[in-house]
Homo-oligomer: A and B are copies of this chain.
Amino acid sequence: MPGNGFGERFRVSSFGESHGPALGCIVEGCPPGLAVDEALIQADVERRRTGRSRHTSQRREPDQVRILSGVFEGKTTGTPIGLLVENQDQKPKDYRNIADRFRPGHADYSYMHKYGRRDYRGGGRSSARETVMRVAAGAIARQYLRQHLGVEVRGYLAQLGEIPLGFADWSAVDDNPFFCADPERVEELEAYMHRLRKSGDSVGARINLVATGMPVGLGEPVFDRLDADVAKAMMGINAVKGVEVGDGFACVHQKGTEHRDEMTPEGFLSNHAGGVLGGISTGQDLRVSIALKPTSSLRLPGRSVDVAGQAVEVVTTGRHDPCVGLRAVPIAEAMLLLVIMDHWLRHRAQNADVDAPGPRIPARPGE
């Protein structure tokens, strides 16, 4: 496949450019009979929308999601769900000046050499604008997983630049424009972002994700392990440069006696593995962490070349996020939802009639 779809049994294929007429996607494989709440789709899309605070791009898009097929009398029919979002606030003229030059740190150069041409308006297909469709599709997976399996996927900002952020409370996450789970730190973040925006520079971020209520058995060894597909889903988000499952890079200096999660009939005693062993979910919480690079769209000039190979100085105008990590939580949640949903359907294709012996070990209390 040419790379615009994700998933095998719950498959999302998207189209659309940043400043084209519309973006859309097809969601295939959704089990029939799911009561789809359009307001919940719209709510998830709202969470990633630009222009909600002064810390994100000031592009104003209503991001109204239309359902064009696959839902009849409020429920899914099992046929493909077509979703469409029309672009409203395009300003292609903002990008005229970069039509023939490559912004450093952007996909301009790689797209041009891959395809021999590129839609330079706002990055075209390489823009994170495309992720609006992932979030809409993920919101359908969220409703299925919640209703049928009790799975919940949530994320929060774990680090902003040099500022590490703890976890206090899920309920705080949606009360601030940073997806910060510690309400006491919000003021500090406001001040940090204010200084950053004035400087003209940008900064990276780290996001943590947790899926609770996980079934045991998701993941297809040996290549399509659950964690392998999580890694692909996460690294496939714009600006992501690192992915960890469970303890991640901290494993490098751990001992085996420290890392292995011991089990008792009352439950797992720890969750260093992050809910995956041998590529298959254990029923413990799925723990994922990702690193996002600072956006390269800066008004501070950078050295580059143009299509003729001449040295040029590039200044990016247009409307951009000084920290793309700030809007990445709903996108990363959506991708994690898609992975879990897809593997749930794949799992039951092969194993619907499995009757596993022995009791299920509870997830570690307190996770």
Assess whether A171 is interfacial by the CB under 8 Å rule. no
Question: CB-nearest residue of chain B relative to A274?
Answer: B241
Given A9-B350, A79-B125, A303-B264, are A203 and B256 neighbors across the interface (CB < 8 Å)? yes
B242 near A251 (CB under 8 angstroms)?
Answer: yes
Q: Is the CB of B8 within 8 A of A259?
A: no
B81 A116 Cβ-Cβ under 8 A: no
Looking at A21-29, A38-46, A176-184, the stretch in contact with chain B turns out to be A21-29
> Smallest Cβ distance from A147 to chain B, in angstroms?
11
- How many chain copies does the complex carry? 4
A124 within 8 A of B: yes
**Are B242 and A77 in contact, CB atoms less than 8 angstroms apart?**
no
Residue contact A351 to B78, C-beta cutoff 8 Å: yes
A104 to B272, CA, bound (A): 11
Most central of A8, A20, A113, A308 by chain B CB within 10 Å: A113
Interface size class for chain A? 35 or more
Asked whether, in the complex, the Cβ of A348 is within 8 Å of the Cβ of B349, the reply is yes
Residues of chain B contacted by A166 (CB below 8 angstroms): none
Contacts A15-B70, A236-B228 hold; do A114 and B217 have CB atoms under 8 A apart? yes
Q: Which residues of B contact A306 (CB under 8 A)?
A: 358
- Given A224-B1, A257-B201, A354–B116 Cβ distance below 8 Å? yes
A296 with B236: in contact, given A1-B224, A4-B221, A253-B161 (CB under 8 Å)?
A: no
CA distance A244 to B281 in the complex (A): 22
B228 touches A357 (CB 8 A): no
CB pair B8 A28 closer than 8 Å: no
Residues of B within 8 A of A230 (CB): 235
17 contacts between A and B (CB under 8 A): A1-B29, A3-B219, A3-B223, A4-B223, A8-B8, A16-B80, A17-B70, A24-B26, A69-B125, A113-B356, A113-B360, A225-B235, A241-B251, A249-B249, A259-B293, A345-B350, A346-B349
Contacts A15-B69, A241-B246 given; 20 further ones with Cβ under 8 A? A3-B221, A9-B349, A15-B81, A31-B351, A32-B351, A69-B125, A77-B115, A102-B263, A105-B277, A110-B280, A111-B280, A203-B256, A204-B251, A225-B235, A232-B235, A251-B291, A252-B292, A260-B298, A262-B302, A265-B309
The 4 closest A-B pairs by CB, nearest first: A107-B278, A3-B220, A105-B260, A202-B256
